[in-house]
Amino acid sequence: MKQATLTFLIALLLLSCDRETVRMDDFDVHGIDVSHYQGRIDWPTVSEQGSILFLLQPLKEEITRISIFCDNWDLMRMYEIKRGAYHFFRPNTPVNLQIANFVDNVELEAGDLPPVLDVETYDGASKLEIISGMRQWLYAIEIHYNVKPIIYTNLKFFNKNLAGQFRDYPLWIARYNTREPRLADSREWDFWQYGNKGTLAGIEGYVDFNVFQGDLESLDSMCYEPAAVISEQRED
């Protein structure tokens, strides 16, 4: 009887893992993040769906992936989709090269999301080395774009390694669940990636579903503005 019960529970767990992500309607601002894995995206079809207000496009070093990134980046602007770029952090790759890779390939325009640093792997580095490298990347990117970057990571990695650190940076937390993330240092999350099996017309395969804890006006206030625009706003 115990073996049968255990088998049933395992089967139930596997079934739940394969279930498509259901959109959470309790939040005002929704978005997806995509990568080269989604291939060429039908942005006109995506733009016609009012459910998507922001997207993230990961940036990779390989030339073919850079090409896909550049095409998507331009099309997202063309179809008035709020866009942003994130960098997957590698603790054992020289940070100056990672900074240059991002800066050389991402030119922000007014209304774009701040740069996002995706940190979720050790690569053999210590906690201290990871935090030190993150600080170097975040500081350099903030100085270059004059906007505070966002930190993306999963709940387990944050609670184990980053709790109590980087309190002045917005947080994007991945936790695939219907219950909101609870951070070890009692901070509030700004973005929540709650599932990785969402479906959307215009995109082949699954995509990650995200929500923003706030309204569109709050999101806009976080986004990039050129220095000239900021100066004019202060003068007014």
Active site residue 120: yes
Tens-digit pLDDT profile for residues 168-193: 999 999 999 999 999 999 999 999 99
Report how far Cα 233 is from the mean position of its chain's Cα atoms: 28
Lowest mean pLDDT, pick from 18-32, 47-61, 66-80: 47-61
* Residue 65, pLDDT score: 66
Q: Taking the chain, what is the end-to-end CA distance rounded to the nearest angstrom?
A: 74
Residues 138-144, mean pLDDT to the nearest whole number: 98
Residue 185 and residue 152: Cα distance in Å, rounded? Answer: 16
Catalytic residue among 61, 71, 120, 142: 120
Non-local (6+) Cβ contacts of 176 within 8 A are 21, 193, 194, 195, 196
Residue found by looking up tokens 């980087």 in the block: 166
- What CATH number is given to the structural domain containing 47? 3.20.20.80
Distance CA 227, CA 126 (A): 37
Considering 33, 112, 118, 208, which one is annotated as catalytic? 33
- Note if 42 is an active site residue: no
pLDDT at position 1, please? 44
Task: Count up the domains in the chain and report the number.
Answer: 1
Domain extent for 97: 2-235
Dihedral over Cα of 212, 105, 65, 93: its sign: negative
Yes or no: say if 26 and 206 are a contact pair by the CB < 8 Å rule.
no
